[in-house]
Amino acid sequence: MEDQGQDHPTRNPRGRSNSLQRRGSRDDLEVSVTFPGMVTTESCCRFTCELLKHILHQRHQLPLPYEQLLLFCKRQQDGDDIGRRPIKAEGSDSRQSQRSMSDLAELLSQLETLFTLTAVPRVLLLLGGTSMNPKELYVINMEGLQLGNGDQSLSSRPCLRQLFHALFLADPFSDLRSSPLMSLVLMVQGHRDCGTDWFRPKMNYKVPARGHSLTIRLSSTRTQNATYSSEEYIWFQAPITLKGFQN
């Protein structure tokens, strides 16, 4: 995937903007982004993967942005890390960081495959706790996006800039305490007959209704909302549980 790290501002010194909304009595936040046209399924996959990496870093589950970690690991493998601070050179911490990076790379690859098999209206990132009762819930809602082919659609790069600019202005992470290392479970909504052989169907799964949540709602200005019925579109769970590391 193309590196979008330079387009990912991480802090907003001026506070929130109106793009951040609080909903309900619990700690529910929502950031809405409307793109000026149609997008491709490939762009939807990019949005999901970049948000996954961004949230992991913002919630202190990765010590550096993902692309920087990849570069760092490559330098270590190439023996070009002399004079650089290692993540961890030995022991269980090193094994955990390597396992986490390997699992995240596998998850990103499998997401790319899934987006070629089915429309994905919603993605859940569940941090801490269990899939039924997480400590933090991040919802990527793409039901309002209008999909088109490459000739009709916006390119992914300006859409990503718009998305992360909205997150920068909303600054939804600033009020959250620094978190301990947590496990992350990923759920995706897709067509029940999409044919995925990696993600596991969870027919009776219900979106948790407790804890801190952030919904990132993506839509298109020219919207003819697709219908994603609960009978046809079900939840699938990634068989990998990501574990954070901080060394």
With tokens 């089915």, the residue in question is 118
Report the percentage of the chain scoring pLDDT > 90: 62
Q: What is the pLDDT of residues 177-207, one digit of tens each?
A: 777 899 999 999 999 999 999 999 999 999 9
Report pLDDT digits (tens) over 41-62. Answer: 999 999 999 999 999 999 999 9
Give the E-state strand segments of 147-237 in sequence order.
183-191, 200-202, 212-220, 233-237
pLDDT band per the 50, 70, 90 thresholds, residue 82: very low
CATH of 19-243, one of 3.40.50.300, 3.40.50.720, 1.10.10.10, 3.30.900.20: 3.30.900.20
pLDDT in tens, 68-78: 998 887 776 66
DSSP readout, 54-91?
HHHHHTTSSSS-HHHHHHHHHHHHTT--TTSPPS-SSH
Residue 11 has pLDDT above 50, yes or no: no
Q: How confident is the model at residue 2 (pLDDT cuts 50, 70, 90)?
A: very low
54: Cβ contacts below 8 Å, ≥ 6 apart: 8, 65, 164, 167
Task: Characterize the bridge pairing of strands 233-237 and 183-191.
Answer: antiparallel
Domain coordinates in residue numbering, the chain: 19-243
pLDDT for res 22: 60
Specify which residues 138 forms β-bridges with.
125, 214
Q: Of 29, 7, 6, which Cα lies nearest the Cα of 18?
A: 29
pLDDT at 96: 83
Q: Share the mean pLDDT of the chain.
A: 84
